[in-house]
Amino acid sequence: MAGVAGAAGVVLLALLWRAAAEPWERGSYGILLTMLAASLLHVTTMRDHFVPGAVRIAPGASALRFAPRWREPALTLGVFSLLVVWGGLAAWVIAGGAQTGESALAESEVPLTAYAVLVIALVALGFLVRLVAQLLRRPAGVTLTERGVILAWEGSVRELSWRHLRGAEVRLDARLGPGVAVCDSTGTEWAVMRARGCGSDPAVVAAVVNYFRAHPEERTSLSDPALAWERFRASFAGGSG
């Protein structure tokens, strides 16, 4: 149903874009059309956010990191970037850069929506800067190091040492899907990472976190992701045998 509504929205925006005469209207409809089409494509092609038993470990990393598909952060970056571009168009219109006939657009003719879009774009710019800073500081996903667990997603980076970590478990959400919840030493839910944020089955990620919490002698292997994963698999196979 959502796919049908999205497709109808794309068709409607395409018709409005073709019928628009003013640069502001045409540019706005074009940006909205692009964002809706990208979101629709994302929803229809990324239904495998959660696959039971699936694991995505970042290759060549210096620590064990459960990483999302590259399209996940790329979509967020793209949406925020388009909003910033839309804000640039709004600023151009407000400044009188658009032309109506031979004269500059008068202040009285500036659409009120241009001011609203400019405000939204400034907020989006803040989120975009925050997201880029997060990606430069720490790649997205759930990372396990000798010091503790790091959750990095959508501009946020949170770190919790093993000493202050009580454990991890699966959290279910009808809207957002399953996720892995990490609890601190008081038992309080410290942070939740959804399956789309770590590219892996939350049950597997929780089991790995709990394994290395319970076996501090194995944490040195976390600097070699392949070795750490094999240690976990061996212990899991041994425990189930």
Residue 58 in domain: no
Q: Is 116 helix (H, G, I), strand (E, B) or coil?
A: helix
Q: The domain that contains 223 carries what CATH number? A: 2.30.29
154 and 92 share a domain?
no
The answer as to whether 63 is a domain residue is: no
pLDDT at 107: 47
* pLDDT band, very low/low/confident/very high, at 209 (cuts 50, 70, 90): very high
Same domain, 170 and 231: yes
Residue 50 lies in a domain: no
The region, left, alpha or beta by phi > 0 then psi within -120 to 50, assigned to residue 42 is alpha
> Position of tokens 């959400």?
173
- What pTM did the predictor assign? 0.73
| pLDDT of residue 190 exceeding 70 | yes
- Residue 150 in any domain: the answer is yes
Choose between 90 and 165: higher pLDDT: 165
* Angstrom distances, CA of residue 86 to CA of 82, 106, 156, 178: 6, 20, 25, 34
SS3 121: helix
Cβ(192)–Cβ(200) under 8 Å?
no
For residue 41, is it within any domain?
A: yes
For the chain, the domain total comes to 2
| Domain span at 209 | 141-240
Tell me, what amino acid is at 36?
L
Q: Which of 11-25, 44-58, 105-119, 209-223 reaches the highest mean pLDDT?
A: 209-223
178-188, pLDDT tens digit by residue? 899 999 988 88
Residue that has been written with the tokens 């710019």 in this structure: 125
Give yes or no for residue 108 having a pLDDT over 60.
Answer: no
Separation between Cα atoms, residue 229 and residue 237, nearest integer Å: 12
200 shares its domain with 225 = yes
Q: In this structure, is residue 99 part of a structural domain?
A: yes
- Assess whether 83 and 109 both reside in one domain: yes
Q: Are residues 7 and 83 in the same domain?
A: yes
